[in-house]
Amino acid sequence: MHDIRAIRDNPAAFDKGLTSRGLEPLSEELIALDDARKAAISAAQGAQEKRNALSKEIGAAKKAKDEARAQELMAEVARLKEEAPALDAAADAAGKALSERLSAIPNIPGPDVPEGRDEHGNVEKSRFEGRGLSEDGRQHFELGEAMGLMDFETAAKLSGSRFVVLKGQIARLERALGQFMLDLHTGEHGYTEVVPPLLVRDEAMFGTAQLPKFRDDQFAAVQGSPEMAQESGAPNRWLIPTAEVPLTNLVRESILSEDELPLRFTALTPCFRAEAGAAGRDTRGMLRQHQFSKVELVSITAPERSAEEHDRMLACAEAVLKRLDIPFRVVTLCTGDMGFASTKTYDIEAWLPGQKTYREISSCSVCGDFQARRMEARYRPKEGKGVHYVHTLNGSGVAVGRALIAVMENYQNPDGSITVPSALAPYMGGLTRIEGHR
């Protein structure tokens, strides 16, 4: 959420940030909405102040035995009292209109973010070649189906498209990847493991900016039938699209001390996304599923430490792929390709020999105080007075399903088997090669 006071102080900078994202300038519209909000509040407060003053005059008139004046004043107070609900409602409506407009506007890119219209404007930051960029071999779904351990047909019977059933050794390989990542981030990188709820309320989704802008990309869950839920007034709950939502909201509506920062959380959870805007994209295989597993990283920091924390989070995510010896590159997303809540994002893209290209496996974003304002998450500094909004960061550490794809394709053998990476050996019960049912 944006701070309207900051927009008023520097409308040109705000509009420049929006135009770098390919959006129209909005400062004039927002300042007009804020003016309307202030005028409505002023009218309601002025009417209340007048009522209070007239009430005192009534007492003075009665004391002076001026009954005519007292009756006149009482009639005016009654009229003002009758108008008060409408004035209060107008003030509330004006505040809501401004808030709703602000909540639909993306974060402003940082000054060091490259400008660009789409993914073609992203800038490569670094590479790790690991075991080398092989361009030979099959795609993961061809390998998995040939071994009888990856079943999309049965998943479609159960749930429809964009689901998969994993079996046997590949199912174990996916579990091993998740456990390996958790152990790395908690044991070496200092993150606190959390098992969060998978269903969250509207307020939590709003806090991390999945609502209201991306409602169509989410899966809603209601108790009982939709008709029963509507009649009972039961709140919607949402299946989490990422553990970023519950982990970041752990600090909502709270005031932390600076000594508590940074907070670092990690979780391995299923994630659920409707992929409403992905029709026709990546329809084969596991790259774009409605349900997938991911290890999430979330940091809560003081503002002056967030840039440093962003680089640290990126290094933690990179460590996963380096231990697995998976080739990857890091790109800095341009202004036109960044996520809604982000002020700067690094994407890690793993090399997939089957596709002969790099594909995103992790995004690490710093959001500044954008989410904190939506959640009312603040901290009290050790020096100085008052409270300030924290900065929030999130990243994949990494997407487990996509890591499974990367391992299968980079460790495939000419006979269709898959060598187990040495980093996963402790989690595979001595299994060094996946051969399936061949």
Positions marked catalytic: 273, 288, 360, 363, 402
Peptide bond into 398 cis (omega under 30): yes
Please choose, from the candidates 291, 262, 247, 279, the residue with its C-alpha nearest in 3D space to the C-alpha of residue 399: 291
**Does residue 188 contact residue 315 with C-beta atoms inside 8 Å?**
no
Q: Which two tokens stand for residue 197?
A: 């709820």
* C-alpha closest to that of 278 among 270, 289, 291: 289
C-beta contacts of 236-239 below 8 A and 24+ residues apart:
236/201, 236/202, 237/199, 237/200, 237/201, 238/199, 238/200, 238/201, 238/202, 238/204, 238/205, 238/210, 238/211, 239/198, 239/199, 239/272
Q: Cα separation of 179 and 192, whole Å? A: 14
Residue 344 has φ and ψ, to the nearest 5°, of -165, 140
Q: How far is residue 63's CA from residue 165's CA, in Å, rounded to a whole number? A: 85
Task: Please give the torsion angle defined by the CA atoms of residues 61, 64, 67 and 69, in that order, rounded to the nearest 10 degrees.
Answer: -40
What token pair was written down for 265?
A: 């959380």
Distance separating alpha carbons of residues 58 and 76, to the nearest angstrom: 10
In terms of Cβ atoms closer than 10 Å to its own Cβ (0-12, 13-18, 19+), residue 241 is buried
